[in-house]
Amino acid sequence: MVLKFRQLLRRVASSVKFKIVAAGVVTAVGATAVTTLFILSITQSRSRQQLLLQSANDVERTASLLSSKLELLQTALQGVASQVRPEMLRDRPALTQFLIDKPSAGLLFDSVFIMGPNGDLLVRLEKGVPGSNLPNLADREYFQRVMREKLPVVSRPLVSAISHAAVLIFAVPVRQVDGQVTAVVGGALRLDKTGLLSFLRDSSGRDNSRDLVIDKSGQILAHADPQRILRHAREETGLSAEFERWVLDGSTIHVEGTASVGHGYLVALAGVPAAEWMLVHVTPETDAMQSLAAARDTAWRVGALVGLAAALLAGLLAWFITRPISRLHARAMSLLDDEAPLRGDWPRGGGEIGALSRAFQHVVEQRALRGRETHRLLMQLQAVLDAAHAGIALTREGRFELVSRHFCELFGRDKAELLGHDTRQVFTSELQHQQLSQQSRDALGETGVFEAESQLARRDGSTFWGHIRGSLLPDSDRRAGIIWIVEDVTEAHERNARLSWSATHDAMTRLANRVQFEKVLDEATLGAAEQPFCALFIDLDRFKAVNDSAGHAAGDALLRDIAAQLQDRVRPSDTVARLGGDEFAVLLPHCPVKRAVDLADTLRVAINGYRLAWEGRSFSVGASIGLVHVGAGFANATEVLRAADMACYAAKRDGRNQVVVYTTAMTATRNLVGV
């Protein structure tokens, strides 16, 4: 009975049906794992989006609260301003008493004050106590804005002329019926201890998150750490990248909250339009995503247990299924030994494995027969190759199998150093070998032919330019081998390189010529919408006088020296060109306008300070430089050069030896002159 059961079990285990069932079990386990991962991925993505939305909403609500506080402060000052009468401004005691009788303003601000239309501080109360230090504040930017715009303003952070502390000034005008501003009512808030932004400090200590307020310039107005106030947002850990994106976006004050994750931090921003501020909430990504990370870790642990169980099951099934195949594999591996017999202990039996074993034996015998024939043909081919005056080689699977005598002479190697060895040794570097190997694989796979020129290495370390042509053997299979023909084309390559350089460079100054510069400028202009850049147009002043008085040889020497002066003071990524005569141009990619202006002035000073000693005389020139910032508004290089030329013309017209930045007004002026 037991014997019959074993026989039944053996038949079931060796049947295709059982193997299909086993494959189904493994497939079910795999599908379960993939489904779990897919659901986890969707859940994580949605949870992440919900967290970002919640952070954006939170910071938007907080910014709205801050905006309401600012409006409350301005409303309080407007209430005081509305009760100021002209006759009070001539009676300081009465004006002081008037301000003392308005305690609400004194409670909201660290100090309140009233200024005359000429900037004189008429009265100042600090915590309800009149102050004796009453300087003239007409030079303050907020005072000038109120007098000019006749509207309430909130100042940028500044150092108080009285307390010498960092403060914000809220100022409203006192207007008469005719609209004339007769006084300014103001309130000062100290940034280091004011209660206006105290809610930002309430979050300090709860976790590693931080709330801060910055103005449009990036200056920090409020921070949980008072030491960080008035510093720049770029210095704030976790905020630098997001701040740069905001600046590239135009530093726009968006009331709607936004949130993003990057560089290890979650950053949420919302605008405070009443004062053109931005409220920022910064949280380490690990803290913000802590709950998501915990859920993900739990899922991975469960997945690992499921995967382990599935792997164990698959291993047991594979052990049963592949036992005959393992025996067949072991017998096949023994054939790697040259002394192993072709016939031997091959797996026997019925079914697919037995048929495969017999087919494998037949293939091995046929392969041995073809191997002997191939060896005979290779010997004949080697004799032909040695008689040919050409660098010919046969490679298979990245190794040399046949090489001609001339091929060995090209690389300065013996046949023994090449045959059976990796083709890597004839290339100058591993990177070059990998690149050409990939290119040849693609070309041979598509057309069956590969052709290229590349530097190749001799045994002594010297290199030469070789023209390489590769062709698949007639059966179009890379495994059958590739025929390579190599020709030394060093002289032709160097000649072409000299011709190419001459076509794109100015022979006298060795700078890029006008054709090359316009090509580079055109390419940069096409991408200027995404990557703005700056360009300089330089016209030498008084150069004609050098040519006229000292001759063209002196002028040429001066141009060469000026070219060297320019090239030595720009970045490796910048392009300096001689456009012709005494005109030069410089392309400055990834260069802000301010930095470009500084560089242009550096070049101007260098040119102006240069002296040419020639036949006992000294000559100097100046430089009129036109600078244009190129963005999406320019269609091509011609428009850029025209704009730079207009700016350069303006520099010459206004006295020479200066830098002028192009503006659209210059185009309008030129068009008007043309009309």
For residues 331 and 341, is the Cβ–Cβ distance under 8 A? Answer: no
Nearby residues of 425 by Cβ (< 8 Å), 6 or more positions away: 413, 417, 418, 457
* CATH superfamily placement of domain 83-190: PAS domain (3.30.450.20)
Q: What is the mean pLDDT of residues 386-391?
A: 70
pLDDT reported for residue 658: 94
Residue 671 in this model has a pLDDT that exceeds 50: no
Residue 87 in this model has a pLDDT that exceeds 90: no
pLDDT reported for residue 587: 96
Among 37-41, 195-199, 263-267, 621-625, name the one with the lowest average pLDDT. 195-199
Q: What fold does the segment set 389-494 form as a domain?
A: Beta-Lactamase (3.30.450)
Output b/e per residue, 554-583; b: 16+ Cβ within 10 A: bbebbbbebbeebeebbeeebbbbbbeebb
Nearest to 223 by CA among 279, 160, 261: 279
User: Which residue is it, tokens 């370390």?
Assistant: 461
For residues 532 and 524, is the Cβ–Cβ distance under 8 A? Answer: no
Residue 526 in this model has a pLDDT that exceeds 80: yes
Q: Which residue has the higher pLDDT, 365 or 195?
A: 365
Mean pLDDT is highest, among 201-205, 302-306, 607-611, for 607-611
The sign one gets for the Cα dihedral 426, 432, 435, 436 is negative
DSSP secondary structure of 362-398: HHHHHHHHHHHHHHHHHHHHHHHHHHSSSEEEEEETT
Helix (H, G, I), strand (E, B) or coil at 120: strand
CB atoms within 10 A of CB 377: 9
Structure tokens at 211: 């709330």
Question: pLDDT-derived band of residue 325, with 50, 70 and 90 as boundaries?
Answer: low
* CATH superfamily placement of domain 505-674: Reverse transcriptase/Diguanylate cyclase domain (3.30.70.270)
Q: What is the mean pLDDT of residues 76-98?
A: 87
Question: pTM of this prediction?
Answer: 0.42
Dihedrals φ, ψ of 475, to 5°? Answer: -80, 5
pLDDT reported for residue 661: 94
Q: Which residue has the higher pLDDT, 469 or 296?
A: 469
pLDDT reported for residue 205: 47
Q: What is the mean pLDDT of residues 97-101?
A: 87
pLDDT tens track for 601-628: 999 999 999 999 998 899 999 999 999 9
Q: Which residue has the higher pLDDT, 500 or 94?
A: 94
